[in-house]
Structure 1
Amino acid sequence: MHTYIQRFLNVAHDVLPNVLKFCYFLLFLVLFSCGNDVTTKPQEQTTTTDTSDTTMTNTSSKKTILCFGDSITAGYGLDDTMDAFPSVLQSKIDSLGLAYVVVNSGLSGETTAGGRSRIEWVLRQEIDIFLLELGANDGLRGVPLSETRANLQAIIDAVREKNPTIPIILAGMELPPNMGQEYTSEFRSVFADLAKKNGLLFIPFILKDVGGIAALNQSDGIHPTVEGHKIVANTVWEVLEPVINP
């Protein structure tokens, strides 16, 4: 009996220090982990708050000009969409120190029907000036003019419903003569009639001094080059500047 007791004490003597060391190690891990939680969490909360405040300040400090259009607005065919006329407008605005940001909501291939279907989604953001540049693809596809007119009116109505005070600039478009004289003439009048009916700011032809000039258009003869977009921006600027820089 004495021998068994002696063996037990010898084993306990060898094992017990290791067990205690392991317990100390576990306790250290628990304390270290808790210490990390305590120091990290307040830091994360502070960073999130600061970022949110900065974003809100930047957004609220500038008014928004939304360019809602098709491939002309989107800058189709350009190596850099920053060369499209909305970005050229932004450069002009920045050079004058005006607190406006230009949002390019152009979509290549867009028709007035497509614009009508996505306008509600686009209007979820705050808008201070609305530029409407749609209709060219309707004309090139021979869409009935009654449909083009109705779709453009619906877009105008949606903007007015969001905020009746938002200035709306309507960009007119013209078609090449191969579409037929009667159709091209009536197509042109759609924009002028809508501008007059709704009291809109009006650009009679957004491709003024660009349309039909080979050197200012890409190989398709329709979409402006970089230099063409600079001229388009100047045409838009003539109507836009009195609104944002009276």
Structure 2
Amino acid sequence: MSVAVFFEEKLLRLFFLGIFLLGFQAQAAEKLVITVLGDSLTSGFELRTNEGYVPVLEKQLLSKGYNVDLRSASVAGQSTRQGRDWVFVEPVISADIVLLQLGANDGAYRVLPEEIQENLDYMITNMQGRGQMVVLLGMKMSPKYGLDYRMEYDAVFETTAAKYNLMFEPFIYAPLFDFDTLDVRRELLLDDARHPNAEGVRRLVEHTQALVEKAIRKRRAN
């Protein structure tokens, strides 16, 4: 065997070894746990198990090659006050990223904005304090609740996102709302005209997926 052939074979072996190792590293990348802490918008309320926000988002992320495990701490009717109870238990405590989607029920019951703020502060400071990334999926109040309350309510989410430097979606419900008529898009809702049907959930996922992907990339980079 000539020296040239010997070195050529060595280079080829090193090349294919490098390809193998790169592929192995990609496959072995640590799986990120993403927990959604929310209410009926993300709990799959009255839908089949595979039609809820968490399984649909997970399917989309996996199809794009993200190594993630999505878990749900979303419960229909849950408020920010009840969300506090999840902070130190599973599946929130073990999450790398928490998608915080609470506040809609607070608004429906006209909870004082100061109380909503206090509850969000509690959850976020504790989660960030243990190194978790928090993504805030905000809400905006219906015009029927009055201008003063609506403005104070909406400002809570904007203030919170800025205060804690969070990745932020101001209005998760936007795909289900018609901004021309200022009414809900009933074709995307259940018969109660409030909660998303299966197509409505898909729209919510489309609306928030890019933000979640950005959070994943940022978490991986840190």
TM over 0.5: yes
For 1:224 and 1:142, the matched residues in 2 are separated by 22
- Deviations along 1:45-99, one digit per CA (max 9) or x if unpaired, are xxxxxxxxxxxxxxx9521011001111111121x13211111111111112221
- Deviations along 1:121-140, one digit per CA (max 9) or x if unpaired, are 23674211110000000000
Larger Rg: 1
User: Which protein has the bigger helix share?
Assistant: 1
1:145 is aligned to: 113
Q: Which amino acid aligns with 1:138?
A: D
RMSD over aligned Cα atoms: 1.6
1:66 correspondence with 2:35 = yes
For 1:107 and 1:187, the matched residues in 2 are separated by 21
For 1:162 and 1:192, the matched residues in 2 are separated by 23
For 2:156 and 2:83, the matched residues in 1 are separated by 17
1:233 is aligned to: 205
SS at match of 2:37: strand
1:223 is aligned to: 195
CA contact (8 A) 1:73 1:105 kept: no
CA contact (8 A) 2:106 2:116 kept: yes
For 2:147 and 2:191, the matched residues in 1 are separated by 25
For 1:167 and 1:124, the matched residues in 2 are separated by 11
Q: Which amino acid aligns with 2:141?
A: L
SS at match of 2:70: strand
Between 138-147 and 210-219, report the one with greater CA deviation.
Answer: 210-219
TM-score w.r.t. length of structure 2:
0.78
1:105 shift after superposition: 1.2
Aligned with 2:162 (options 196, 199, 211)? 196
Percent of pairs with identical residues: 30
2:98 is aligned to: 130
CA contact (8 A) 1:75 1:84 kept: yes
Give ranges in structure 1 of 5+ residues lacking alignment: 1-59
Give ranges in structure 2 of 5+ residues lacking alignment: 1-28, 178-183
SS at match of 1:76: coil
